[in-house]
Each structure stands twice: as C-alpha cells, then as structure tokens.
C-alpha cells in the first residue's frame, strides 16, 4: 500500500467536506475540489483546494474527467437528493474503472435504518466499495454537531429550543471536524484501509439535556419544547426531501438516534473526541453569548 498524493474531494465548498479538504491539505496532500457550480470554486479554494473541477455527481463522463491525475477520492452524498443511491454508487464505479487507489466514503451512522432513505440509500455505495478492488475506508458519522449552532442562537434569543420531534428523544452526535481529521489519516496512513467505522462523540443527548446545559452556559433559563414531526405545507422543500425529512423526524420522535459510543473515534484520533458539552461551550464563546 502506498499513500496517495492527490485527493479528489467531493463537495469541497461545503460545510462538512470543506473541513475534510482543509484537513487533507493540512496533511500535505494536494486537494482537487469537486463542486457543482462555478460560484462554489472560491469557497473550495478557501477550504484548501489547490485545484477545482465543476461536475454533476450524476454525470459519469464528467466524473471520469474530474478523476484524471488523482489517485484518491473523498466522497460524500447530499442527503435526500433524487436518486441518492445511484449518485452515491456512480463515483465508486467510475473511480474503480479509472484505477483510483484509495477511496474514503463519508456514509451515515446506522445505514441499516431501512425506513430512512438518507440512511438506506448510502448502502449501495458501501456495497460497491466492497466489490471495487480499491482500498477503501467507510466512515459512518452520527448527527453533526454543527446543527447545534442554530440551537445555541435560538436559546440565547428566545429562551426556548424546539424542533420537529420529542424534546426527550436522545441523539448521538459527532463533531465533523473530528471526522475530517480521521478522513485525512485515512489517506496518509494505511491503518484504516478496509475498515467500516461508526463515529460518535460520547453519550446521547435530548433537547431537554441541551436546554439544561445551555441554561448553565448562557446564564438564563432555557426551556426545551417538542413540536410535531411534520413539515409545514408552506415550507419551500422539494418533494423528495419533504418525504425523507418527514420519515426521519417521525423516527427520531419515536426512537431518537441511538448510539453514542466514542471508542472507535477516540481510538482512530488517538485522543478523546469533542464532546457535546465542549462544543456548546466553544460555540457560545465564539458567538459572544456565554455569561
């Protein structure tokens, strides 16, 4: 096995894959950022991409061209897009045909939750990797902590945090910055080749738990509320996303998002991962809200 030199980073302009681009570039590898449109190029370059290419993930000819001159791929699929399973698998197939040596796929925590399309539809790409002959690493991150940024601001503004599932539903989280560091290690070492890894911060947290911690951090009472697991008819949400989100919210309302075992992530990082409480404190400070 030999470490790659140039990585095609799908979604390098985005909030998640952009972190991976930064970590990979920081590890000394060349990053080629794949973006969907020209107006994303500058953001990809700010995230560490020294090269950029514009391509649609459903266009196999464009993907073949994007792969010219690279020897590794980081792939992440936007959730709830039409034909998510096909789009996820397409780049794996094209990369295998192009002789790509190493492929790191950011999948999802618990892809076997078959009633949730954003979980189930990652499985074809995972299977394609198993059969591809490439060196692969599959990362399965829990709910991204970045979603808590708006929760912190809502708590500071209104003294209430709410969402479309029960305030008692317990959720597993991960700081995607930790996932990005693992992704970079998956390219610069051979230790993770051939592995499938669930990545989570320790513990699970309900909205009520978050309210208790935010009350302490913000120096004001914060109350957690539950809202029905529905999407308003007036919300500007595409049909595919509306259906997928509705099923996801209903599942979270009934069952939460179980897990929260950090052993794998801590072992891969060689340090303890970011905790939910540490993330809340960091962001409260960054937003100038902590008292």
Which single residue is written with the structure tokens 């690279």? 70
Strand-strand pairing, 171-174 and 204-205: antiparallel
Residues 9-35 have pLDDT tens digits of: 999 999 999 999 999 999 999 999 999
The CATH number covering residue 91 comes to: 3.40.50.720
CB 4 within 8 A of CB 102: yes
CB 94 within 8 A of CB 63: yes
The Cα 32–Cα 6 span in angstroms is: 7
Residue 28 lies in a domain: yes
Specify the number of domains making up the chain.
1
Residue 216 lies in a domain: no
pLDDT value at residue 78 = 81
Residue 238 lies in a domain: no
pLDDT value at residue 291 = 78
Residue 177 sits in which domain range? 6-144+173-202+259-273
The Cα 90–Cα 193 span in angstroms is: 21
Name the percent of the chain lying above pLDDT 70.
Answer: 99
Residue 127 lies in a domain: yes
Residues in the chain predicted with pLDDT less than 50, given as ranges, are none
pLDDT value at residue 139 = 98
Residue 162 lies in a domain: no
What's the pTM value of the predicted model, to 2 decimals? 0.95
Residue 78 lies in a domain: yes
Residue 123 lies in a domain: yes
pLDDT value at residue 84 = 87
pLDDT value at residue 2 = 63
Radius of gyration of the chain (CA): 19
Residue 287 lies in a domain: no
């Amino acid at each position: 096995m030999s470490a790659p030199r140039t990585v095609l980073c799908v979604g390098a302009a985005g909030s998640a894959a952009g972190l991976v681009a930064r970590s990979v570039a920081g590890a000394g590898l060349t990053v080629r950022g794949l973006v969907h449109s020209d107006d994303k190029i500058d953001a990809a370059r700010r995230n560490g991409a020294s090269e950029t290419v514009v391509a649609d993930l459903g266009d196999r000819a464009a993907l073949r061209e994007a792969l010219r001159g690279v020897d590794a791929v980081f792939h992440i699929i936007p959730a709830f897009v039409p034909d998510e399973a096909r789009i996820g698998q397409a780049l794996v197939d094209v990369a295998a045909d192009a002789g790509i040596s190493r492929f790191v796929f950011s999948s999802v925590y618990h892809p076997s939750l078959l009633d949730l399309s954003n979980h189930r539809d990652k499985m074809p790409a995972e299977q394609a990797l198993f059969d591809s002959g490439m060196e692969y690493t599959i990362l399965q991150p829990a709910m991204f902590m970045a979603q808590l940024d708006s929760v912190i601001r809502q708590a500071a503004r209104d003294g209430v945090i709410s969402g479309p599932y029960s305030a008692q539903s317990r959720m597993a989280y991960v700081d995607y910055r930790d996932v990005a560091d693992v992704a970079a290690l998956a390219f610069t070492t051979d230790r993770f080749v051939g592995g499938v890894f669930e990545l989570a911060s320790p513990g699970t947290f309900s909205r009520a738990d978050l309210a208790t911690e935010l009350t302490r951090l913000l120096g004001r009472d914060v109350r957690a509320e539950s809202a029905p697991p529905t999407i308003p008819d007036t919300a500007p949400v595409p049909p595919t996303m509306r259906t997928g989100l509705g099923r996801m919210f209903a599942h979270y309302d009934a069952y939460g998002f179980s897990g929260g075992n950090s052993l794998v992530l801590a072992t891969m990082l060689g340090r303890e991962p970011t905790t939910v409480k540490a993330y809340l404190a960091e962001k409260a400070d960054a937003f100038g809200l902590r008292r």
